[in-house]
């Protein structure tokens, strides 16, 4: 039997909302499970498909046409949570930023951490950056509660067993007595904090300063900027060089 085209069968709801910049695919599935999305007035479920001309509403509000692509670099302060859930989390990043269009964070940076976080309405960009097999670099500056030793640096660099699994080998270098830099190519939950805890160190300050080719630079806490065309072009070139190791 001939397979129907996407035009005939419709687009999966989670992809549809992600492409529009409403939310991530995972968030769309969660909203569907909560009964917060309708298609032509009928409650959607994960896997629902949307055809051209159908009206999709989130929390009763119609979803508009595809917006222009937006990519923002924000210096997230400590205490702000990288979530789009504005109901259950009062310190969410969306209310903090107050951007006039719907955007959402690419990945996460835990509440106690600070530094660079990207936000966008481009679902395909999110998928490229978060793809675990791509080994995209993220760089952090970390301050801990006692002197950094060579044994600690070597142990961190070699890979550590944490709740989400074993971490990949990474680049670690000493900056000062109690501060070091670390470059990761994966994004396990609270990864650096768990890695440090494995060696009986406690993280006092954790700041992300780079995601791929995008750097924090002189951006001040709580401030944001648009990515430049040159930065986006360079990032897309890096997507074309993705490798599986």
The residues that are catalytic are 110
CB 219 within 8 A of CB 227: no
CB 153 within 8 A of CB 173: yes
- Beta strand 104-105 with 71-76 is unpaired
Nearest to 93 by CA among 60, 115, 61: 115
Cα separation of 169 and 187, whole Å?
13
C-alpha separations of 50 from 17, 30, 36, 140 in Å: 10, 17, 15, 41
DSSP 132: G
Cα separation of 13 and 106, whole Å?
19
């Amino acid at each position: 039997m001939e397979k129907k085209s996407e035009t005939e069968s419709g687009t999966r709801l989670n992809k549809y909302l992600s492409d529009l910049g409403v939310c991530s695919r995972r968030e769309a599935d969660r909203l569907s499970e909560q009964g917060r999305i309708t298609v032509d007035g009928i409650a959607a479920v994960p896997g629902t498909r949307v055809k051209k001309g159908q009206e999709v509403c989130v929390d009763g509000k119609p979803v508009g046409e595809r917006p222009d692509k937006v990519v923002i670099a924000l210096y997230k302060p400590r205490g702000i949570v990288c979530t789009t859930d504005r109901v259950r989390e009062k310190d969410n990043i969306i209310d903090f930023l107050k951007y006039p269009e719907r955007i959402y964070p690419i990945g996460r940076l835990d509440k106690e951490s600070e530094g660079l976080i990207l936000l966008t309405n481009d679902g395909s960009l999110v998928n490229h950056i978060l793809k675990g097999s791509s080994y995209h670099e993220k760089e952090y500056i970390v301050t801990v509660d006692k002197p950094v030793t060579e044994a600690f640096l070597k142990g961190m660099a070699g890979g550590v067993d944490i709740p989400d699994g074993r971490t990949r080998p990474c680049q670690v270098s000493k900056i000062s007595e109690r501060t070091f830099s670390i470059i990761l190519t994966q994004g396990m939950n609270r990864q650096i904090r768990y890695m440090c805890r494995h060696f009986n160190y406690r993280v006092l300050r954790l700041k992300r300063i780079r995601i791929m080719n995008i750097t924090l630079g002189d951006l001040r806490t709580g401030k944001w900027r648009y990515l430049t065309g040159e930065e986006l072009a360079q990032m897309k070139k890096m997507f074309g060089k993705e490798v599986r190791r």
